[in-house]
Each structure stands twice: as structure tokens, then as C-alpha cells.
Amino acid sequence: MTAPNTIEARGLGRDYGATRALEGLDLSVEAGSLIGILGPNGAGKTTALLMLATLLRPTRGSARVLGCDLVSEASAIRRRLGLVFQDATIDGLLTVEENLRFAGRLAGLDGYGVRHAVDEVIQRIGLGPLRQRRASELSGGWRRLTDIARATLHRPGLLLLDEPTVGLDPEHRERMWSVLDTERRERGVTVLFSTHYMAEAESADRVVLLARGVVVEEGVPADLQRGVGVAVAEFEGPGGAAIEAALVRENLAATSMRTERGWRVGVREPHRVAQLVAEVPGGVTRFLLREATLEDVYFLRTR
């Protein structure tokens, strides 16, 4: 018997007055998986996360989160939910330990439970030397790690993170993902995050691409990348339009997109592209043949 999905959403949508922020989200998330939500600003990512966190009521649709109904069993969901907002939610006047104790109390842990959980999470995330330090004295990276500690100390079954790595340097970003990876491997925590960083999303089990409140693409990152083409040809210059037309005519282009400065074409047979570029009159000022990335999928589907 397989474990039930952590999230099962059907047509989950939300309006703000006359504005339709999220059309209707269909989402099935297996327990223990890592799911990335991508999309430009205003796509509905935060709205989706806030609804799944029971902080916003859906205008339409329904969902079960951690086996509970999103609307009628919100309190039960919150007990097993870890939530990380875009800005670190810790109190600058309190020490790291006091912030974590506060979070433990908010989660409903009793005195012993709080002490135990705080000691455990401080050790797990390596916050020991900062334990008595005021949060206002921490760097942005350590504030975020304290925030992750806050969100995980009560051992949630689901972690929702809204653009958690914005403003972090590579070292702290790496450390944060390492902590989340440990949560998944050792505790089976399901992680759902939104991000603008495509490289981060490429390590997800699945990604959901939102644009203007609608899911425009969903799947395993490698499959989505393959959908763009075997490789991607980027070119700029006076002969760009002619090259793009030739690639389409020769049936070499799987996908094609005009960018600010040129073209980005997903190609089927990379070895024939360089030859074709050389043959087309007009020439190019820049030519690059590379592997398809999730960024290509993002631009292709959200423009």
C-alpha cells in the first residue's frame, strides 16, 4: 500500500476582488518529495503557498494537505506544517534560542517539548555558537538558517518555503539546501518551495510553472528540459532572423523564442546547426550551442 500524497489539490483558485490571482491549481505531491514552484512576479506562487498554508481561503477548488481538508481542518494542518516566508520571520530583540522557544510555544509544544526541540534543532543546524546571540546581530544567512530552524523544530511533515534563498550568498544557500535535504532524507519531510533561481529548481523532483495564475507546465525538470530540444542554439546579429527561419524550414527547431537581443532555438540535431549558421548570409555577432536548461523552459512557457 502506498503512502497518501502530502498535497492533493484540485482546481484550487483565489481571487482578490475582481483580480484572479490563481486560476485553478491541480497538484499532487508525494510524501517526501521536493517540489519547486516557478513563475514570474505576479504569477500566483505566493498565493498558492499561502492557501496551502491555510492562511488564505480558496475562492474555488479544494485540497487535502497532510490528509486533512484545507478549510475545515486548518488547525490540524498547521500543527504539522513548517512555514518559511520570503523575509526571515525572527524577532531581532530576542536571542536565537528565545526565538526558537517562542516558535516551539506557538507550535503548541509544552515546556519539556520546547527545551528538547530547541536543543535538538540548534545542534542539527549548527546554531550552537549563536545560541545566545541577538537575532538583530546575525548576518542575513544566519537569520535565514535560524528561520529554517524555527520552521522545522516541531518536526513538520510538510515544509512550505516562499523564495527562501532570496538575498543569500552561495555559502548560506548551499547550507540551507543541505539542511532541507537532511530533513527529507532522515525525516521524510515533503518540501514545496517557490523560487526565481532556476538552478535550484533543477534539483527538484518536479517543478510547477505558473504564469498569470495558470499552471503552464509541470513535470520532472529533465523531461521538461528535453521538451525544449536536444540542445539550445542562441544567436544574435543581422542574420539571426534568416538563421531562425532556416532552422524551422529544415525541421531542426523543436522550439523557438525571440529574446531581447536575438533568438533562442531548441534544436533536434545539434551537429547540423553550426553548419547551417555558417551557410546563412548576414552572419551573427554571437553564437552559442549549449544544453537545454530549466531557464529555457521558463522563458518559453511564461512569455
Partner 1 sequence: MNALSTIHGIVARDLQRASRQKSRMLGGLARPFIWLLLIGGGYGAITRMDGGSYRAFVFPGVVSMAVLFGGMLTAIATVYDREFGMLRLMLASPAGIGVILAGRTLSAALVGGLQGLAVLACAPLLLDAPAGRYLAALGALSLSALSSGALGLLVASRLRSVENFAGVINVVLFPLFFLSGALYPVSGVPSALRAVARVNPVSYQVDLMRHALGQAPEFGLILDLLALIGSSILALALAGAWFDPERRFLASGRGAQR
The residues binding partner 1 (CB under 8 A) are 16, 19, 21, 41-47, 50, 53-57, 75-76, 78-79, 81, 83, 85, 87, 89, 91, 93-94, 98, 101-111, 114
28 to 10, 40, 133, 138, 193: CA distances (angstroms): 9, 22, 41, 37, 14
Q: How far is the CB of 276 from partner 1 (least distance, A)?
A: 42
**CA 159 to chain centroid:** 12
Burial class (CB within 10 angstroms; exposed 0-12, middle 13-18, buried 19+) of 111: exposed
Q: How far is the CB of 33 from partner 1 (least distance, A)?
A: 22
Q: Which is nearer to partner 1, 48 or 243 (CB)?
A: 48
Q: Which is nearer to partner 1, 84 or 292 (CB)?
A: 84
Contact 125, 148 (CB under 8 A): yes
Q: How far is the CB of 118 from partner 1 (least distance, A)?
A: 12
* Separation of alpha carbons 216 and 303, rounded Å: 11
Q: Which is nearer to partner 1, 42 or 237 (CB)?
A: 42
44 in the Ramachandran plot: left (φ > 0), alpha (ψ -120 to 50) or beta? left
Q: Which is nearer to partner 1, 103 or 189 (CB)?
A: 103
Bridge partners, residue 83, by sequence: 160
Beta strands (DSSP E) in the chain are 7-16, 19-29, 34-38, 60-65, 68-69, 81-84, 158-162, 190-194, 206-211, 214-219, 231-236, 253-258, 263-267, 286-290
Q: How far is the CB of 21 from partner 1 (least distance, A)?
A: 6
Q: How far is the CB of 76 from partner 1 (least distance, A)?
A: 8
* Separation of alpha carbons 256 and 300, rounded Å: 8
Q: How far is the CB of 16 from partner 1 (least distance, A)?
A: 5
SS3 253: strand
Q: Which is nearer to partner 1, 110 or 223 (CB)?
A: 110
Q: Which is nearer to partner 1, 12 or 109 (CB)?
A: 109
